[in-house]
Amino acid sequence: MHSDEKRIQMLLKAVIYHYHGLDELEQKDLEETAEKIDASEELKWALDFVSQDYITAFDRARAYLSEIIGDFAKEKRVELINMVWKSNNVKGYVTEMEATAMLKLAKDWNVEKELINLVLK
């Protein structure tokens, strides 16, 4: 996996997890994901990105990701939004704030219908 894709995955997870405040299970998932895909530098970058300003982190990440992901094939965009949806389900639930954030990203990436179908399964 290319470094840019690792960065995208780590930022997606980090920004969604921080949307309501990072908990211990989410921190563990971030660390395990970074280890699994050999992305410790990308995780550090994503956490630095978020910590620059927690209030604007989601909007900044949304703009950053939309620039990059807009050129990805639709299947890849769906794969990324599905990855973050599944990651959020690790704790057994997805908060309304997290779901809203993911719907905003899916709408930006023109895969809102696909996310809704994945959620309904």
Query: In the prediction, which pLDDT does 113 show?
Result: 95
pLDDT mean across residues, the chain: 91
The reported pLDDT for the residue numbered 120 is 85
Q: What pLDDT score does 61 carry?
A: 96
53 pLDDT exceeds 80? Answer: yes
Residues 6+ apart with CB under 8 A from 9: 33, 37, 39, 42, 80, 83
CA angle centred on 68, ends 34 and 7, rounded to 5°: 10
pLDDT tens, residue by residue, 55-113:
999 999 999 999 999 889 999 999 999 999 988 887 788 888 888 999 999 999 999 99
Q: For residue 9, which amino acid is it? A: Q
DSSP string over 44-103: HHHHHHHHT-TTTHHHHHHHHHHHHHTTS-HHHHHHHHHHHHHHHGGGT---HHHHHHHH
Exposed/middle/buried for residue 5 (C-beta within 10 Å: 0-12, 13-18, 19+): middle
Whether the predicted pLDDT of 119 surpasses 90: no
**What's the DSSP call for residue 23?**
-
> What is the per-residue pLDDT across 7-21, written as a single tens digit (0 to 9) for each?
999 999 999 998 877
101 token code pair: 């954030």
pLDDT confidence of residue 121: 77
The whole-model pTM stands at 0.90
Tokens of 44: 């550090």
Checking if the pLDDT of 3 tops 90, the result is no
